[in-house]
Amino acid sequence: MSLLIKNGRIITANDDYVADILVQGEQIAAIGNDLSAEPDTEVIDATGKYVFPGFIDPHVHIYLPFMGTYAKDDYESASKAALVGGTTTLIEMCCPSRAESPIEAFELWRSKAEGLSAVDFTFHMGVTKFDDAAEKELRELVSRGVASFKIFLAYQGAFGIDDEELFNTLKLAKELGVIVTAHCENATAVSQLQAELIAAGKTGPEFHEPSRPESIETSGVNHLMTFAELTGAHVYVVHTSCDGAVRAAERARYRGVNAWIETVIPYLVLDKTYAEKPDFEGAKYVMSPPIRDIRNQPILWDALRNRLISTVGTDHAPFDFGDQKTMGKDDFTKIPNGIPSVEDRINLLYTHGVVAGKIDLNTFVDAGSTQAAKLFGLYPRKGAIQIGSDADLVIFDPEYSGKISAETQQMNVDYSAFEGWEIKGRPSVVTVRGEVQARDGEFVGTLGRGQFLAREPNHF
Ligand code: URP
Ligand code: ZN
Ligand code: ZN
Distance of alpha carbon 340 from alpha carbon 74, whole angstroms: 13
* pLDDT at 176 exceeding the cut of 90: yes
Per-residue pLDDT tens over the stretch 198-250: 999 999 999 999 999 999 999 999 999 999 999 999 999 999 999 999 999 99
Q: Do domains 2-52+389-405+424-443 and 54-375 have the same CATH topology?
A: no
Query: Residue 199, class by beta-carbon neighbours within 10 Å (0-12 exposed, 13-18 middle, 19+ buried)?
Result: exposed
Q: Which of 212, 288, 325 to mutate to test the pocket of ligand 1 (most atoms within 8 A of CB)?
A: 288
Q: Which of 128, 292, 337, 339 to mutate to test the pocket of ligand 1 (most atoms within 8 A of CB)?
A: 337
Per-residue pLDDT tens over the stretch 2-28: 999 999 999 999 999 999 999 999 999
Angstrom distances, CA of residue 113 to CA of 77, 224, 230, 432, 457 = 11, 31, 36, 16, 22
Contacts of 237 (CB under 8 A, 6+ apart): 181, 182, 184, 221, 224, 245, 249, 259, 260, 261, 262
**Domain ranges, ordered by start, for the chain:** 2-52+389-405+424-443, 54-375
Distance of alpha carbon 275 from alpha carbon 223, whole angstroms: 28
Going by alpha carbons, the residue nearest to atom 1 of ligand 1 is 287
What is the percent of the chain where pLDDT is above 90?
Answer: 98
Q: Atom of ligand 1 at shortest distance to CA of 286?
A: 1
Task: Compute the distance from residue 31 Cα to the ligand 3 centre, in Å.
Answer: 37
CB atoms within 5 A of ion ligand 3 belong to 315
What lines the ligand 1 site, CB under 6 Å? 61, 183, 239, 287-288, 315, 317, 337-338
Q: Atom of ligand 1 at shortest distance to CA of 183?
A: 8
- Residue 50's pLDDT band, with cuts at 50, 70 and 90, is very high
Task: Compute the distance from residue 93 Cα to the ligand 3 centre, in Å.
Answer: 7
Per-residue pLDDT tens over the stretch 162-173: 999 999 999 999
Task: Compute the distance from residue 338 Cα to the ligand 1 centre, in Å.
Answer: 5
Q: Which of 69, 287, 325, 334 to mutate to test the pocket of ligand 1 (most atoms within 8 A of CB)?
A: 287
Q: Assign domain 2-52+389-405+424-443 to a CATH class.
A: mainly beta
Task: Compute the distance from residue 60 Cα to the ligand 3 centre, in Å.
Answer: 6
For residue 315, how many other CB atoms are within 10 A of its CB?
Answer: 28
pTM: 0.98
Task: Compute the distance from residue 398 Cα to the ligand 2 centre, in Å.
Answer: 32
pLDDT of residue 459: 78
**Average pLDDT value over all residues in the chain:** 98
- Residue 98's pLDDT band, with cuts at 50, 70 and 90, is very high
Task: Compute the distance from residue 434 Cα to the ligand 3 centre, in Å.
Answer: 30
Angstrom distances, CA of residue 125 to CA of 137, 209, 233, 303 = 11, 28, 16, 28
* pLDDT at 401 exceeding the cut of 90: yes
Q: What is the mean pLDDT of residues 307-328?
A: 98
Angstrom distances, CA of residue 287 to CA of 57, 410, 431 = 18, 21, 31
Task: Compute the distance from residue 395 Cα to the ligand 1 centre, in Å.
Answer: 31
The two beta strands, 2-11 and 50-53, are parallel
pLDDT of residue 160: 95
Distance of alpha carbon 259 from alpha carbon 181, whole angstroms: 10
Length of the chain: 460
Per-residue pLDDT tens over the stretch 411-421: 999 999 999 99
pLDDT of residue 157: 85
pLDDT of residue 460: 73
User: Prior bond to 289 cis, omega within 30?
Assistant: yes
Match domain 54-375 to its CATH number in 3.40.50.720, 3.20.20.80, 3.20.20.140, 3.40.50.2300: 3.20.20.140
Q: What is the mean pLDDT of residues 346-370?
A: 98
* pLDDT at 1 exceeding the cut of 90: no
The two beta strands, 16-24 and 442-443, are unpaired
Q: What is the mean pLDDT of residues 77-100?
A: 98
* pLDDT at 156 exceeding the cut of 90: no
Contacts of 17 (CB under 8 A, 6+ apart): 9, 10
- Determine the distance from the C-alpha atom of residue 390 to the mean position of all C-alpha atoms in its chain, rounded to a whole number: 20
Tell which residue, 132, 95, 150, has the closest CA to residue 262. 150
**Which ligand minimizes its atom distance to the CA of 71?**
1
* pLDDT at 354 exceeding the cut of 80: yes
Task: Compute the distance from residue 337 Cα to the ligand 1 centre, in Å.
Answer: 6
Angstrom distances, CA of residue 149 to CA of 95, 135, 141, 237 = 10, 12, 10, 12
Q: Which of 59, 208, 315, 332 to mutate to test the pocket of ligand 1 (most atoms within 8 A of CB)?
A: 315
DSSP element (H, E) containing 187: helix 187-199
Distance of alpha carbon 187 from alpha carbon 160, whole angstroms: 8
